[in-house]
Structure 1
Amino acid sequence: MHHSDRHQGGEKAILVHCTIKGNEFLNNQNDLDEFRLLAISADAEILGEITGTMNKPSAKLFVGTGKADEIAQKVAELGAEIVLFNHTLTPSQERNLEKVLQCKVIDRMGLILDIFAKRARTYEGKLQVELAQLTHLSSRLVRGYAHLGQQKGGIGLRGPGETQLETDRRLLQIRVNQLKAKLDKVKKTRLQGRAKRQKSEVPTISLVGYTNAGKSTLFNLLADDKIYAADQLFATLDPTLRQVKWAGVGNVVLADTVGFVQNLPHELVESFHATLEETLEADLLLHVIDSSSPEMHEQIDAVNGVLAQIGATAPVLLVHNKIDRTHENPTIHYKDKGVPSRVYVSARENLGMDKLSQAVQELLVGGLSKFHLTLPYHAGQLKNTLHELGVIVQSEYDETGHEMLTVCLAKDKLKELLGKHHLDAFDILPPHEASQFLPVLEEFEKVDVKFDGDENLDPFCH
């Protein structure tokens, strides 16, 4: 077979998925579906699948000798170039299998790494992939399948890590240290960017979720952007940041992060810490869920697992996406008064975005109320700000020519704006609405507080 006519349909692969008796964790049909999707994401052309059951993995080949012969026969019969195992293999198992099967063998970890290598776009993404690859490869430098000498690339041998295969471990270690140092540098720059954002008090909203839950589609919709959004695993590897105007909140930074999968290998979480840090530092996490997936609950658990692993503590809003497939209505569910916990949307069909917008406002700046403002002539800037925030529900003029606005926003946000523009609530709002903005005083202080018209005591001058 010529080198040129390979890669037409990707590498010809056979998938192996074994059930281990008594280990419920591995006996999951969904796991096989996900593995199939992983293989397709790595551009494999699946020729066949072999499943089996065993009491415990064999030390030498992972599978028993009978099963190994069955796989070898199928490889020869179908002309497969690679066998993908939905398990973690030790380096010696990988080598022994390559001898028996006479073709390349890659385990689940190697497969995920390969997809990551294909997807990395930015400098940082590439560094992270290479680090993860080298960590994984350092134990796998000796290939059992000897005539891989004329390496053709392909699954498991892609990306910056492949040229290192021939180098000895000592050089590898040097390279790993270099990569860690470079990533540290990236991390510092990122911290500075974040400090700047926090100083200007721009909240960060991070999208997290299982891979393929529709995060990038939602991100594109919110950011009016055309980021790479495809129906495949790990379409987004690099954290993409965009500044967005969010109704009722103002400027926010929106971050799209890498998707998670079940049993995401620990080395990967380690290498991708830099990406995931955006998630750690966010003011709010939007956990995007594919509500049409039969494995929805397992996927939610997998994401929560990774969030716990990296120590994320931000409040979380569950965004049940793809309601166009489940025929649910766009709604917000609350866990306490004014605290949204779930919102149902469809990013693809642009359904429920107003609900999402409202839920995010409520979580970031507090519950929303309607206020009726009568603007004095010198309040033009306030009006502009309210326009920019997109919170004006209705506007009309009273008989004296003053503009009357009905706005819907959080009390604290309005308080902040009045302070910023040096306006007194009692001049602008009807008394019963303005009274909410009085400073709350301790009981015992209330007795002797008098305002004697001294401007400096005005409670609204911050």
Structure 2
Amino acid sequence: MIVIEKVLLVAVMHDKSDEEQFYYSINELEALAKTAEGVVIDTIIQKRPTPHRAFYVGEGKLEEIKEKLEENEIEVVITNEELSGGQIRNLQEHLEVRVIDRSQLILDIFAARARTKEGKLQVELAQYTYMLPRLHGQGTDLSRLGAGIGTRGPGETKLETDRRHIRRRMDDIKKRLEQVVNQRDQYRGNRKKQQLFQIAVVGYTNAGKSTLFNSLTKSDSLFEDKLFATLDPLSRRMKLPSNLEVLLTDTVGFIQDLPTALIAAFRSTLEEVKEADIILHVIDVAAPNKEEQEQTVYRLLTELGADQIPMLTIYNKKDLIEDAEFVPGSHPYLLISALDMEDVKKVKMETESLIKLQWTYFSGFVPEHESTKLAKIRQYTILEKEEYHEERFAYRVEGFVDPNHAIMKEIKEFHQE
């Protein structure tokens, strides 16, 4: 049963905070709270040089928060920055409600949305990694599996006293994850043997990646107007205009200030991006700070070692802006709506053009009696021309081929400059 809880957001604006960026992070925190089934009643912001060491906010502001909680019967306080164990304990004792921070909220959403065995293990490991240094501050709320925001903890053990149990459990999860990662590597190896061209769809959370993925592959993966709608990577075959089949993978949405523990735990999930031959980077063109979102994705791609992979930038949700407002920040790019099938065709055509830039041009005649070879060329290359020449009893073919594909050996037999 879904539990809807009243939430109060609390944030400190530091001296060095960029004001526009700060307020966007508040909007994002509100969206995260909504995704976790919370109803944001109000937001309290305090300007101070640095967060209060004991309470995050100053003691005067703390009383204002307490009054707001009592007036509105609010059950959860969510802070915009990571808290120490001591800060969590002090706030909970003073406010007498559950207090969680941005990182814990993100972990909680991931815990609710993980579907695969690997995803669930990774979330559990990330939660333990986050909790271990904060055990003395968590009180009893995280010692059991709960029903409210921030309580989807890993189990029923008393976390604040049993560090050894947590470390043993973390070691066990790491071993199990190694096995899952090995299975994933085998799966990747099999895909490599099939030599399917691989495309990864990446982007900031809620940019419309899954909507585009569905439109491109005509599948029914989960897509909804919530952050992190897709958590586990999903792969489907997609046909390009030339009939070449490629493998398209949808990935978890990127976000600013993703908890360090979560990035580490999801490294193997995001490895899908590193395996890609091309990246489709989807950006919500109507987002108020799309430039910052774009830079967040670039930064995380660099951390993954995927920043050298050819990329097509797709500015999505064009129906939400005026054309005159649009200035692209990256090239090559397309301005589209993922729900417009004409735009989806453009994405396929532009993707095919990018592949041709990476591949080798070929042309020549395939004898009529070598129909098996012709069938392979149709399947594994971008075939742009195919004509039958009666006088030669052969097919004139022209197109582009992956120079590392096994079929290259056969193409070299008839290729003519």
The interval holding the TM-score normalised by the smaller chain is 0.7 to 0.9
Is this contact kept in 1: 2:145–2:156, CA < 8 A?
no
Distance 1:150 1:358, change over 3 A: closer
Looking at structure 2, the residues matched to 280 and 391 of structure 1 have their Cα atoms a distance apart, in angstroms, of 23
Code of the aligned partner of 2:298: N
Looking at structure 1, the residues matched to 143 and 401 of structure 2 have their Cα atoms a distance apart, in angstroms, of 69
Alignment partner, residue 321 of structure 1:
316
SS in 1 for 2:133: coil
Instruction: Please state how far the C-alpha of 1:358 moved relative to its aligned partner.
Output: 2.9
Report Cα offsets for 1:42-86 as digits up to 9, x if no partner: 100112221221121111101000111100111111101111111
Instruction: Please state how far the C-alpha of 1:158 moved relative to its aligned partner.
Output: 1.1
Code of the aligned partner of 1:345: I
Is this contact kept in 2: 1:61–1:93, CA < 8 A?
yes
Alignment of 1:410 with 2:400, yes or no, is yes
Alignment of 1:283 with 2:311, yes or no, is no
Distance 1:352 1:71, change over 3 A: same
Is this contact kept in 2: 1:249–1:361, CA < 8 A?
no
Alignment of 1:127 with 2:121, yes or no, is yes
* Higher mean C-alpha displacement, 260-269 vs 381-390: 381-390
Alignment of 1:378 with 2:369, yes or no, is yes
Code of the aligned partner of 2:152: R
Q: Which has the higher contact order (CA 8 A, sep 6+)?
A: 2
Looking at structure 1, the residues matched to 180 and 140 of structure 2 have their Cα atoms a distance apart, in angstroms, of 39
* Higher mean C-alpha displacement, 228-237 vs 150-159: 150-159
CA RMSD of aligned residues (A): 3.4
Identity of aligned residues (%): 37
Report Cα offsets for 1:188-211 as digits up to 9, x if no partner: 111122222223322221111100
Instruction: Please state how far the C-alpha of 1:422 moved relative to its aligned partner.
Output: 7.8
Structure with bigger gyration radius: 1
Alignment partner, residue 38 of structure 1:
32
Of 263, 271, 292, the match for 2:265: 271
Looking at structure 2, the residues matched to 369 and 353 of structure 1 have their Cα atoms a distance apart, in angstroms, of 26
Of 161, 167, 173, the match for 1:173: 167
Distance 1:188 1:412, change over 3 A: closer
Looking at structure 2, the residues matched to 367 and 131 of structure 1 have their Cα atoms a distance apart, in angstroms, of 39
Instruction: Please state how far the C-alpha of 1:166 moved relative to its aligned partner.
Output: 6.2
Unaligned residue ranges in structure 1 (runs of 5+): 426-433, 437-462
Instruction: Please state how far the C-alpha of 1:244 moved relative to its aligned partner.
Output: 3.1
* Higher mean C-alpha displacement, 91-100 vs 237-246: 237-246
Of 202, 205, 208, the match for 2:199: 205
Looking at structure 1, the residues matched to 322 and 374 of structure 2 have their Cα atoms a distance apart, in angstroms, of 40
SS in 2 for 1:14: strand
* Higher mean C-alpha displacement, 164-173 vs 416-425: 416-425
Alignment of 1:225 with 2:219, yes or no, is yes
Looking at structure 2, the residues matched to 391 and 173 of structure 1 have their Cα atoms a distance apart, in angstroms, of 52
SS in 2 for 1:165: coil
Alignment partner, residue 356 of structure 1:
347
Is this contact kept in 1: 2:366–2:414, CA < 8 A?
no
Report Cα offsets for 1:399-448 as digits up to 9, x if no partner: 879798886x43668x98685378634xxxxxxxx4x3xxxxxxxxxxxx
Alignment of 1:347 with 2:341, yes or no, is no
Looking at structure 2, the residues matched to 394 and 381 of structure 1 have their Cα atoms a distance apart, in angstroms, of 18
Looking at structure 2, the residues matched to 79 and 374 of structure 1 have their Cα atoms a distance apart, in angstroms, of 78
Looking at structure 1, the residues matched to 145 and 395 of structure 2 have their Cα atoms a distance apart, in angstroms, of 74
Looking at structure 2, the residues matched to 135 and 422 of structure 1 have their Cα atoms a distance apart, in angstroms, of 54
Instruction: Please state how far the C-alpha of 1:227 moved relative to its aligned partner.
Output: 0.3
Instruction: Please state how far the C-alpha of 1:266 moved relative to its aligned partner.
Output: 1.3
Alignment partner, residue 103 of structure 1:
97
SS in 2 for 1:207: strand
Give the aligned length: 412
Is this contact kept in 2: 1:41–1:115, CA < 8 A?
yes
Provide the TM-score with structure 1 as the length reference.
0.78
SS in 2 for 1:84: strand
* Higher mean C-alpha displacement, 157-166 vs 252-261: 157-166
Provide the TM-score with structure 2 as the length reference.
0.86
Distance 1:374 1:218, change over 3 A: same
Instruction: Please state how far the C-alpha of 1:396 moved relative to its aligned partner.
Output: 7.6
Looking at structure 1, the residues matched to 138 and 414 of structure 2 have their Cα atoms a distance apart, in angstroms, of 79
Is this contact kept in 2: 1:213–1:289, CA < 8 A?
yes
